[in-house]
Structure 1
Amino acid sequence: MRADARDNRARILTAADEVFGQSPTASTDAVAKLAGVGIATVFRHFPTKTDLLEAVLTQRLERLRHQALTLAAGENAGRAFYAFFSQVVAESAAKLAIGEALTSAGFAGGEDARKAAVGLREAFGSLLAEAQRIGAVRRDAGLPEVYALLIGASRGATARNLDPEVRNRMLGLVYAGLRPAA
Structure 2
Amino acid sequence: MPERQRADARRNYARILAVAEQEVDAHGAAASLEQIARVAGVGSATVRRHFPTRRALLQAVSHKRIDALCERADELAGEDDARAALLDWLSDLLTYCVAARGLAAALVYDGESESVHQNSCATRIEEAGEPLLRRAVQDKAVPGDVTVSELVALIIGIVLTTEHRPDAQAAAERLFTLTVAGISPRL
Normalization by structure 1: what TM-score? 0.62
Deviations 1:33-62 (A, max 9, x none): 433xx224x6335338x7252322222454
Aligned residues: 164
Q: Does 1:74 align with 2:75?
A: yes
Aligned to 2:13: 9
Higher percent of residues as helix = 1
Distance 1:39 1:172, change over 3 A: same
CA distance in 2, matches of 1:129, 1:55: 30
Deviations 1:112-157 (A, max 9, x none): 9524333332223234345x2896x923262244233223212322
Aligned to 1:168: 173
Q: Which has the higher contact order (CA 8 A, sep 6+)?
A: 1
| Alpha-carbon distance, 1:174 to partner | 2.3
Question: What aligned pairs does 1:18-167 form with structure 2 within 5 A after superposition?
Answer: 18-20=22-24, 22=27, 24=30, 26-28=32-34, 30-35=35-40, 38-40=41-43, 43-44=45-46, 46-47=48-49, 51=52, 53-60=54-61, 62-75=63-76, 76=79, 78=85, 80-91=88-99, 94-95=102-103, 114-129=119-134, 132=136, 138-140=141-143, 142-143=146-147, 144-158=149-163, 161=165, 163=167, 164-167=169-172
Q: Percent identity?
A: 21
CA distance in 2, matches of 1:3, 1:91: 33
CA contact (8 A) 2:97 2:159 kept: yes
CA contact (8 A) 1:65 1:120 kept: yes
Distance 1:60 1:121, change over 3 A: farther
Distance 1:63 1:138, change over 3 A: farther
- Gap regions ≥5 residues in structure 1: none
Distance 1:175 1:88, change over 3 A: farther
**CA RMSD of superposed structures (Å):** 4.1
| Alpha-carbon distance, 1:9 to partner | 0.7
| Alpha-carbon distance, 1:176 to partner | 3.0
CA distance in 2, matches of 1:69, 1:174: 23
The one-letter code of the counterpart of 1:34 is V
